[in-house]
Amino acid sequence: MLFNSFEFALLVIASLAVYYLPVARKIQVHLLIIASLVFYGYSNPKLLALFLSSVVINVTTSYLVVYARADRQKLYAIIGVVVNLLILIFFKYGSLVGGLLFDVNHGAGAFLANIPLPIGISFFTFEGISLVVDAYKGRDIPQYRSLVARSITKHALNTTFFVAFFPHLIAGPILKAHDFIPQISEKLLSRIDWEYCYRKLVTGYFLKMVIADQISQHTFWIRYPFFEAHSSLVLITLLFGFSMQIFADFAGYSLIAQGIAGLFGYKLMENFNFPYISTSFSEFWRRWHISLSSFLKEYLYIPLGGNRKGEFRTYFNLFITMVLGGLWHGAAWSYAVWGTFHGLALVAERLIIQATFKDKKAGIVRKLIGGCIVFSLVTLAWLLFKLTDIQHVYKYLVAIINNQSKDTSFKIIVYILIYSIPVVVYHGIYLIKSHYSKAHRFGWAEPLALAIMLFMIVTNTGIGGDFIYFQF
């Protein structure tokens, strides 16, 4: 069920109509769980079996981690994490493993190659891991101790709601148990922050329906063999356009998720913080898909040792975290290469800073050059998302070099540049607000911008399509 579909609008309106009734206050969580299961199983009800099985596993293991015998709690935590990972590996990477070990046309290889990919599995398995690990941490961290209720019924209800809450269920933001479960309580209509919800929803739907969906009508030319017919300038512009599209698409989804959650009284973490103004790769990963990067840092990088075990281990931990973060996106070697690229970039950047700029502040020129380099390389790496066959990626790069003499379609270039302007302006306004002390004088501009975006949503949306991150 898409966020920009009639069915979704009907689900949200119907849920809100009942949710805030006085007689429904004691069952608000139950109502949202039902709405979430309808949302997830709408297109394919069979997916609910796996999803609910995952929930049962995480309810059981997280409860045992807290209330079983002390000498077995660590064992149950390990079991919970391992089972979550095995589910993710089987359904998401079965085809990749099968292709490496077996003939994909017969026997086990054919079976593994045809395993369906349940939508949102990367997100809800990570959230299950968060719950199990946070429950285990509760032995030492006081504020985590309330995550697992003594009543198994209440714990099951809280866990199901935490994982299933439909605004974030399919494409995040990835929630952490210690951030979300403490929010579970009775909600009142009078406490809704309507301005917050309006800003998130209008901006999110504008980025998705007007920007991403419009640009997508031309970035399909990146697919093989279509790109071979275009000139070098068009191919570079298409890459730039896809960079704008993937940001608008995913940031748009995250903003919509925040706005919808806000209508029900819940706060989801910010997932994007104007990433294309980043002047370094480390800054980029503090601003892009924040819920994933913070999850990987908290539950992988730090447990591996972080930066506490010497320079070499720091670089290794950083690199392996990014490679696994790349593979998290899908069962294709292009994602591993993408993660490897970002891992190497982070390691190289850290080495250069340590050797050259350790005690120096970055000036405006260095920041500008750094920003151009980071954006260019990040944009180039997005090609690995669009073309999951490494050979096609190579052919695209060769075409950029060799297709200089081909006719240039300026219609594609102009179209992409026009619909990329709002993304550039979006980041530019943030920069102005951050560095111009009198920016508050232009407070009237935000309501005007929101009104224009709302008008564009009504009058100028592109051809609707799935959100890009639904495939992950």
Residue 399 has pLDDT above 90, yes or no: yes
Residue 442 has pLDDT above 80, yes or no: no
Mean pLDDT score of the chain: 90
CA-nearest of 367, 361, 280, 355 to 311 is 355
Query: Is-contact 305 319, C-beta < 8 A?
Result: no
Tracing tokens 């540049």 back to the chain, one arrives at 417
Active site residue 329: yes
The ranges assigned to domains in the chain are 6-191, 194-279+362-471
CA-nearest of 143, 160, 142 to 58 is 160
Quick: pLDDT tens for 97-116: 777 777 767 777 777 777 77
CA-nearest of 280, 428, 283 to 368 is 280
**At how many degrees (to 10) do helices 194-205 and 232-263 cross?**
150
pLDDT at 14: 96
What is the Cα–Cα distance from 40 to 471, expressed in whole angstroms? 14
Quick: pLDDT tens for 176-230: 999 999 999 999 999 999 999 999 999 999 999 999 999 999 999 999 999 999 9
User: Which is more confident, 433 or 54?
Assistant: 54
pLDDT at 142: 77
Q: What is the pTM of this model?
A: 0.92
User: Which is more confident, 59 or 466?
Assistant: 59
| Active-site pick, 178, 218, 230, 329 | 329
Confidence class for position 467, pLDDT limits 50, 70, 90:
confident
**185 torsion bin: left (phi>0), alpha (psi -120 to 50), beta (else):** beta
pLDDT at 213: 92
Quick: pLDDT tens for 72-82: 999 999 999 99
Name residues whose C-beta falls within 8 Å of residue 140's C-beta, 6 or more positions apart in sequence.
none
